[in-house]
Amino acid sequence: MVLVLVMVLVQVMVMVIVLVMVCVCCRFGRRSMLLVALIATTVMGATSALSTSYTMFAISRVLSGVALSGLSIIVAVLGIEWTDVKHRTFTGTIMSLSWTVGNMFLALLAFLIRDWRHLTMAATAPCIVALISWWWLPESARWLLAHGRTEEAQKYLTQCAKINRRDTCTSKLDTEVLRTITVSEVAEKNHTYLDLIKSPQLRKITLCSGFFWFAVSFLYYGISFKISGFGVNIYLTQFIYGAIEAPAKILTFFVLDRIGRRHCQAWFLITTGALIGINAAIPLEYSVIRTCVGVVAKGFSEAAFTTAFLYTAELYPTVLRQCGLGYTSCLARTGSSLAPMIMMLEDTWLLLPPVVFAGTGIVSGSLVFLLPETLNVHLPENIFDVEKKRYKRRGDLTCKWRVMQKERHKLS
């Protein structure tokens, strides 16, 4: 019980700090805060390895977790904002698969390096490589345009066109054309979390996305805590946990562009909840069948996690995308904090935890149908885009500007 309470308190502290970090990121840009998160992760990782007491180790690990949480959100947003409509699914899946590969690689590292200090340093080492690569990483052109920094956006977009051998496109990246995309009222305003609930469509997105993020994390960790080892050592168990996720994420890649984000997110959650309910109905003596059903449910919950990052990034406008992912990430941490506490309800009624988990999955999946579809749709840049119009893939910058001007005229 004490351990569970400590976990909850740590998660709450992480949530508060991540909310602040994300808010700062919305104001000062993705790239600069990514550097801060990378430096903090590296420093705290090294501090953990060199700790001289348990208190020092515990505090440094918590701060390292905070930095990593902010890092994952910033990387997801920056990656999606630099990807075109056609390749967003591929980008989102690859970023999610990197998490799976990391879990599997950690098992190998732990098997080869038995000293915990050396293991911690080895696990922190990739951050140094990421720090070096940061110097070649561009700031989000979408964020720059949304904040009126047209010249910088033009520089990065021109570099991008040259790298992709699209030199003929550079003529369309005129500063004046790019400046017309920027809504001056939006560029001059500092957006906060309160903007997530001020307009009707954005309020609906905020409430529904928050609930399905809570459910995704709640189900994922609930299943992970319930599935026991596979009768092998801890290293192979860790590797299997990571390997289970890979097929689910690969399946997600092939399904997302066929049935859409909304249907994938909804049915992955509903299926996860249904499998938890089915598992609870299987007698305890059929342990192999129960484990197999649990593994499949974990795969679907991971597919829901993969979809959530991509779908949420596409739902929120550029000016609030970081805040939106920060808010949903915090609700996800609430779900992961409550999962072990719900497991303790077995003492009251053995079937109560699976009923709660199954119900959460089915209800949250059903609510996803209230959200708009984002397949083959341009990322919204500001609140006007979310409330009034989304831009299809075939539209160019000039067409987008004309549509936006008409919508602004109607609002005025």
255-269 mean pLDDT: 93
- CA 63 to CA 333: how far, in whole Å? 15
247-275 mean pLDDT: 92
Q: Which percentage of the chain shows pLDDT scores above 70?
A: 83
pLDDT score of 333 more than 90: no
* pLDDT in the model for residue 121: 94
DSSP 169: G
* 115: alpha, beta or left? (left if phi > 0; alpha if psi -120 to 50): beta
pLDDT class of 349 with cuts at 50, 70, 90: confident
DSSP symbols for 16-29: HHHHHHHHHHHHH-
pLDDT score of 337 more than 80: yes
Q: Which percentage of the chain shows pLDDT scores above 90?
A: 32
Q: Rg of the Cα trace of the chain?
A: 22
pLDDT class of 394 with cuts at 50, 70, 90: very low
* pLDDT in the model for residue 158: 84
pTM: 0.84
* pLDDT in the model for residue 5: 61
Least confident range from 223-237, 260-274, 332-346: namely: 223-237
242-270 mean pLDDT: 91
* pLDDT in the model for residue 398: 43
Mean pLDDT of the chain: 83
pLDDT, tens only, 73-110? 888 889 888 988 888 999 988 988 888 899 889 999 99
pLDDT class of 395 with cuts at 50, 70, 90: very low
* CA angle at 69 for the pair 74 and 330, rounded to the nearest 5°: 100
- CA 29 to CA 26: how far, in whole Å? 6
Please give the residue that has the higher pLDDT: either 320 or 237. 320
211-240 mean pLDDT: 80
* pLDDT in the model for residue 204: 94
pLDDT class of 410 with cuts at 50, 70, 90: very low
